[in-house]
């Protein structure tokens, strides 16, 4: 039997590229992010971050509910991905790489 913990409920992104940000391994463009969002919206409900968290906290995530996450709060995410999110009216979780601030590695 599949449980809520067995199903993916989020898509994690990291590096993005454009004219100002280099195309490194695994980096995607605004167009590619748009394609991913549109693909997932066919069969999934991409929830706003706060709504996804509230549903997860109360065990109310549906089988097709997902969220978007961004690792390390990179400038390329802000400059390349955020405009795409805004275009689709989406919000996401932004996970901050804090060891550079705390000095604990």
Write the CB contacts of 102 (distance below 8 Å, at least 6 apart in sequence): none
Tell the residue number behind the tokens 């549903």, with chain if given. 55
Gyration radius of the chain over CA positions: 15
Count structural domains, the chain.
1
CATH code of the domain in which 55 resides: 3.20.20.370
Q: Flag whether 68 is in a domain.
A: yes
Residue 72 included in any domain = yes
Determine, yes or no, domain membership for 40: yes
Q: What is the pLDDT of residue 98?
A: 74
Which residue has better confidence, 101 or 6? 101
Domain containing residue 37: 8-17+26-102
Asked if residue 71 is part of any domain, the answer here is yes
Q: Is residue 38 part of a domain?
A: yes
Q: Is residue 41 part of a domain?
A: yes
Summarize the chain as % helix, strand, coil (round to 5). 40, 15, 40
% pLDDT > 70, the chain: 90
For residue 1, being part of any structural domain is answered with: no
Q: What is the pTM of this model?
A: 0.85
């Amino acid at each position: 039997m599949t449980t809520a913990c067995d199903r993916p409920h989020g898509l994690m992104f990291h590096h993005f590229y454009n004219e100002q940000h280099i195309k490194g391994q695994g980096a995607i463009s605004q167009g590619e992010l748009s394609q991913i969002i549109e693909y997932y919206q066919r069969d999934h409900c991409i929830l706003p971050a706060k709504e996804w968290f509230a549903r997860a906290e109360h065990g109310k995530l549906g089988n097709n509910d997902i969220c978007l996450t961004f690792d390390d709060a990179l400038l390329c995410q802000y400059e390349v991905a955020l405009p795409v999110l805004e275009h689709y009216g989406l919000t996401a979780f932004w996970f901050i790489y804090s060891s550079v601030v705390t000095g604990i590695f």
